[in-house]
């Protein structure tokens, strides 16, 4: 304890030695260094006197200071920074700062009772480089208020209620680099307003009431690199309005009333613009952006876009960030992102996309963030997400995912990349009914099957399909005296197809009502395809009345899958090759499981049925028919 006390006394003595009786810290203030004084006390109603001549920075925050009289701080002419924030100042005498000629930074902000500045208030501040007058209640600014501030580089007057500015107000501010007039009530911008500030680089006019910009508004500020006009009421932009701004890098038009946008606003030459924000407008149409060859960030979210031209991003080949979220997009052209090799972020969430093309992201090998959430997607096409060369954060939730055989690709991708999918637990199946509201990640691939439905194939039902290991069984009830053709096709790895055909004619010439049960076994088909490149296929046919040849084989019921109006396929986790069976549709069909009759398909040549096979390859196909 003695050591700690000794250390404390030593530090206090050291602090005292660096000051004297004439330079003690003002009452209710803190002095962090001899050059800095901070006064933050609600009881302070006047500024202290007799401060040390070493003080350079004087800061007063949240005091009861109400007035700045003439000759304020006249005993501290050495001050270079004076900060007055969140006080109760209601009036500033025109000669308050007369003795503070060395000031380089002055801030008077957060005074809700301060409504005006008198002429000559800053007459002696010729060394001032930064002036901040934010969040007061200024309604206007008198002409010549800033005439003496020839070294000023930054001027902020945001958060007031200024509705108009006198022309040539900034005429002498030749060194001004940044001007912030945001959060006011300005309705118009005139060319004369910006006279004299030809070196201006950043202009913030956001959150005003500006509804119209004249074609010559920006002619006097050609060095501008950032222009912020967000949160106004601009509904139209004239062609060439930004033509003088050849060095413009950032343009923010967010939250206006624009219904259309074109690169014609930049004239007919290439633009140096790198960031364009059009979020929250009323855009229904986008014309060409092809002249924006330097654009890296494009934000088009929260508009009313329902479609985009395929060439909208032509020549915008350095684009890295693209936000199209919260629009009404129904579809996207297949080649819309072609040659956009630098894209790392694509936001397409909260649209009405019901499908996307398999090659949509073919060129986006560097993608790091892809949002497809909250659309109308039921599945994703094969290969859509395979082009990404780096780890990619994906959002897929909020879609009505149809968890059937068409979802095999997406399901496999999700299982492999689950760590990269945000809100994965909210990626839920919408259909079929027995999987509704279940997370996709919780479903086994075996459950992703396609059912034969009356909606998809209204003329077909009453058929069932069963499988066990390497055996597939298709059972249909057909009318008596109907001929039967069975076609079996095997597709090899090289894409070639080998086909076998069975033709069966009724043996009963009288076609009486006697039930005839016909069973056919095709054995040795594609046996051990996974291990043997060249497969010896054996085809056997045996027809016996009232007999089922393969009755001793184990059977696993497998629902039919519908791929199109002419194709039915069924699948399990381990199948990838294709087998097709063709049944003439002159014969009415019955579902062996549900026992309901089917009407014939008038004029249709046949019903294609099959299964995808992979892993444990098919070695036997059995078709069981019952004639009535």
> What are the tens digits of pLDDT across the range 295-354?
999 999 999 999 999 999 999 999 999 999 999 999 999 999 999 999 999 999 999 999
pLDDT score of 452: 54
Residue 584 inside a domain? The answer is yes
What sign results for the dihedral spanned by CA atoms 416, 419, 421, 427? Answer: positive
Per mean pLDDT, which range of 215-229, 357-371, 489-503, 505-519 is the poorest?
Answer: 505-519
Residue at 516 is within a domain:
yes
Tokens found for residue 617:
């390859």
What is the structure's pLDDT at 446?
A: 86
Q: Which residue has the higher pLDDT, 323 or 473?
A: 323
Asked if residue 553 is part of any domain, the answer here is yes
Q: What is the extent of the structural domain holding 476?
A: 463-627
225-254 as b/e: b if 16+ CB within 10 A: bbbbbbbbebeebeeebbbbbeebbbbbbb
User: How many Cα atoms within 13 Å fall on the side-chain side of residue 608?
Assistant: 13
Compute CA distances 257 → 254, 283, 350, 508, whole Å. Answer: 9, 8, 21, 80
pLDDT (mean) for 8-32: 58
**Residue 487: what pLDDT?**
61
| Residues 58 and 68 sit within 8 Å (Cβ to Cβ) | no
Contact 381, 359 (CB under 8 A): no
Tokens of 494: 């090289």
Residue 598 has pLDDT above 60, yes or no: no
397 has which bridge partners?
none
Judge whether 613 lies within some domain.
yes
Q: What phi and psi, each to the nearest 5 degrees, are found at residue 445?
A: -60, -30
Contact 266, 290 (CB under 8 A): no
Residue 554 placed within a domain? yes
User: Following DSSP, what letter does each residue of 247-293 receive, concatenated?
Assistant: T--EEE-TTS--SEE-GGGG-SS-----EEE-TTS---EE---TT-T
- Quick one: 377 exposed, middle or buried, by C-beta within 10 A (0-12, 13-18, 19+)? buried
From the CA atom positions of the chain, what is the Rg in Å?
39
The gap between the terminal CA atoms of the chain, to the nearest Å, is 106
Residue 578 lies in a domain: yes
Contact 507, 545 (CB under 8 A): yes
User: Has residue 343 been placed in a domain?
Assistant: no
Q: Cα–Cα distance between 24 and 386 in angstroms, integer?
A: 71
Sign of CA dihedral 557, 563, 569, 575: negative
- In the chain, the number of structural domains is 1
Summarize the confidence of residues 276-301 as an average pLDDT. 95
pLDDT band at residue 49 using 50, 70 and 90 as cut-offs: confident
> For residues 552 and 403, which has the higher predicted lDDT (pLDDT)?
403
- Whether 213 and 187 have beta carbons less than 8 Å apart is answered as no
pLDDT digits (tens, 9 = 90+) for 192-220: 999 999 999 999 999 999 999 999 999 99
Mean pLDDT value across the chain? 77
Least confident of 153-162, 220-229, 479-488: 479-488
pLDDT of residue 173: 97
Can you spell out the DSSP letters for 306-375?
Answer: ----TTTTTT-TT--EEE--SS------TTTTTT-TT--EEE--SS------TTTTTT-TT--EEE--SS
Which residue is listed with tokens 């902020």? Answer: 156
With H, G, I as helix, E, B as strand and everything else as coil, classify residue 412. Answer: helix
Residue position matching structure tokens 């968890």: 403
Could you tell me what percent of the chain has a pLDDT over 70?
A: 68
Q: Is residue 582 part of a domain?
A: yes
Q: How far apart are CA 176 and CA 567, in angstroms?
A: 73
């Amino acid at each position: 304890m003695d050591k700690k006390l000794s250390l404390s006394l030593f530090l206090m003595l050291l602090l005292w030695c660096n000051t004297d009786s004439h330079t003690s810290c003002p009452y209710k203030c803190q002095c962090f260094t001899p050059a800095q004084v901070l006064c933050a006390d609600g009881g302070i109603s006047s500024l202290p006197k007799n401060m040390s001549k070493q003080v350079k920075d004087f800061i007063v925050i949240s005091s009861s200071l109400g007035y700045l009289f003439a000759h304020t701080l006249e005993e501290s002419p050495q001050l270079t920074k004076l900060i007055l924030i969140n006080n109760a100042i209601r009036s500033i005498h025109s000669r308050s700062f007369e003795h503070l000629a060395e000031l380089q930074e002055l801030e008077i902000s957060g005074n809700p009772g301060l409504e005006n500045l008198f002429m000559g208030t800053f007459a002696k501040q010729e060394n001032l480089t930064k002036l901040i007058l934010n969040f007061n209640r200024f309604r206007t600014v008198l002409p010549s208020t800033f005439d003496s501030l020839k070294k000023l580089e930054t001027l902020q007057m945001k958060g007031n209620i200024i509705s108009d500015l006198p022309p040539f107000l900034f005429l002498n501010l030749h060194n001004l680099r940044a001007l912030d007039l945001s959060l006011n009530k300005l309705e118009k911008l005139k060319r004369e307003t910006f006279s004299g500030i030809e070196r201006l680089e950043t202009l913030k006019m956001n959150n005003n009431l500006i509804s119209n910009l004249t074609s010559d508004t920006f002619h006097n500020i050609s060095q501008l690199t950032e222009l912020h006009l967000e949160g106004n009421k601009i509904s139209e932009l004239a062609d060439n309005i930004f033509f003088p701004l050849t060095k413009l890098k950032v343009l923010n038009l967010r939250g206006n009333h624009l219904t259309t946008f074109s690169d014609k606003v930049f004239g007919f030459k290439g633009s140096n613009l790198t960031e364009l924000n059009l979020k929250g407008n009323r855009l229904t149409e986008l014309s060409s952006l092809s002249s924006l060859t330097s654009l890296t960030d494009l934000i088009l979210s929260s508009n009313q876009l329902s479609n985009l031209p395929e060439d909208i991003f032509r020549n915008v080949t350095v684009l890295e960030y693209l936000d199209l979220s919260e629009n009404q997009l129904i579809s996207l052209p297949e080649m819309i992102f072609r040659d956009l090799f630098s894209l790392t972020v694509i936001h397409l969430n909260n649209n009405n996309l019901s499908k996307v093309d398999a090659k949509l992201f073919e060129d986006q090998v560097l993608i790091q963030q892809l949002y497809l959430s909250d659309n109308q997607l039921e599945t994703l096409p094969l290969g859509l997400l395979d082009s990404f060369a780096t780890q990619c954060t994906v959002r897929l939730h909020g879609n009505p995912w149809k968890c059937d055989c068409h979802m095999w690709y997406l399901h496999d991708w999700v299982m492999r990349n689950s760590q990269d999918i945000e809100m994965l637990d909210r990626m839920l199946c919408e259909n079929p009914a027995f999987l509704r509201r279940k997370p996709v990640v919780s479903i086994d691939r075996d459950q992703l099957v396609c059912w034969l439905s009356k909606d998809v194939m209204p003329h077909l039902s009453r058929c069932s399909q069963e499988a066990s290991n390497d055996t597939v069984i298709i059972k249909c009830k057909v009318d008596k005296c109907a001929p039967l053709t069975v076609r079996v096709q095997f597709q090899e790895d090289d894409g070639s197809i080998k086909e076998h055909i069975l033709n069966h004619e009724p043996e009963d010439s009288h076609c009486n009502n006697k039930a005839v049960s016909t069973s056919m076994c095709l054995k040795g088909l594609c046996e051990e395809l996974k291990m043997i490149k060249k497969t010896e296929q054996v085809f056997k046919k045996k027809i016996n009345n009232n007999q089922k040849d393969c009755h001793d084989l184990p059977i696993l019921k497998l629902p039919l899958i519908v791929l199109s109006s002419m194709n039915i396929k069924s699948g399990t986790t381990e199948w990838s090759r294709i087998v097709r069976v063709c049944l003439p549709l002159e014969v009415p069909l019955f579902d062996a499981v549900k026992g309901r009759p089917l009407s014939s398909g008038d004029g249709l040549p046949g019903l294609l049925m099959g299964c995808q096979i992979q892993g444990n390859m098919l070695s036997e196909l059995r078709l069981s028919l019952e004639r009535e």
